Amino acid sequence: MKRTMMKNSIVEAIVQHHDFLIMPHMHPDGDAVGSSLALALALEALGKNVRVFSLDPIPYDIAFLKTQNFWVSTLEADVALDYVIALDASDEGRLMDRLDRLKAPLINIDHHKTNTGYGALNWVDETASATGEIIFELIKALDVPLSAAMATALYVAISTDTGSFMYANTTKRTHLIAGELLGLGIDLEGINRHLYQNIPMNKFRLNAYVLEKAEFHALGGLGLAVVQAEDMKRFNCTNTDNIVEALRNIDSVEVAVLVVERDGLVKVSMRSKGAVDVSEIALKYKGGGHVNAAGFSSELGIEETKDRIIKEFSAIGFRTDHHQ
């Protein structure tokens, strides 16, 4: 297991400096947003100047988190920073929509197996279920008392990245941290309603449309769905979260793949069950992620990208005790 532990140096850097900018990865998810907000609140409690810089809207299911005091989408040209703190980003490519305009040294905090160690200071722990687990430990190391707002943000980070504690990355440590967060009086029912019982109707219809057209290959071991730009326009919805997980839930499917036409590229999200390591495929195409959850971007068209994916996974010996 990879553990790039510069914890003490990162704590020292935070204690000794004042001006920080937190950058979650582009198209931030629950872990990226929750970790960013929790750390921003902790730095504010220490009297630091801190903002969270993202060019993307916060997804609907985590928009209930109160980020407005920290979240910015623009920066002054001559912004003075001591450190930029990158959260939940496995490589600099996940930050390149903003990174080129910033000159401050980078602190890299992440839990992805494929993290490239790109920071001046790095805290990468692939044994953590979520970056939120690492931020929990960092806040403790900074001796900042956990508030209910911090606890809520961290719970969102951990719950979403573990599939509500269902995925194999969930550990005893995960549950112990979640238990401590629950002990701080967070609104568990309210959090879960926002995260898991809050799908907008247009997203529901997009999901249904895309899943209806899903393809299955390798005796049903590979499930593959496509979202074209015109589909998102048709349903007035650009959020494609949870579609790939719905495919993975099918009994025969060992690997689920979602191919999305977005921003002039083809974005590929992969999920797997058991021993199939999708991060190896992601790395082959200059992407990254975890054993059971990874992705990459392709400059090829949808059909050629699909063909390559089908060839990659059809060569794997999927379990064949289920059929289409």
Tell me the per-residue pLDDT of 171-181, one tens digit each, with 9 for 90 and over: 999 999 999 99
DSSP label of 214: -
Q: Residue 163 is encoded by which pair of tokens?
A: 């599939």
Tell me the per-residue pLDDT of 119-162, one tens digit each, with 9 for 90 and over: 999 999 999 999 999 999 999 999 999 999 999 999 999 999 99
Separation of alpha carbons 150 and 41, rounded Å: 7
Has residue 1 got a pLDDT over 60?
Answer: no
Cβ-Cβ contacts under 8 Å for 219 (sequence gap 6 or more): 252, 318, 320, 322, 323, 324
Q: pTM for the full model?
A: 0.89
Determine the average pLDDT of the residues in 162-168. 90
Q: Do 104 and 82 form a contact (C-beta atoms < 8 A)?
A: yes
Domains in the chain with CATH codes? 3-196 (3.90.1640.10), 201-314 (3.10.310.30)
Determine the average pLDDT of the residues in 248-258. 95
Tell me the per-residue pLDDT of 49-69, one tens digit each, with 9 for 90 and over: 999 999 999 999 999 999 988
Helix (H, G, I), strand (E, B), or coil: what is residue 110? strand
Q: Which amino acid, 197?
A: Q
Helix (H, G, I), strand (E, B), or coil: what is residue 223? strand
Separation of alpha carbons 233 and 212, rounded Å: 18
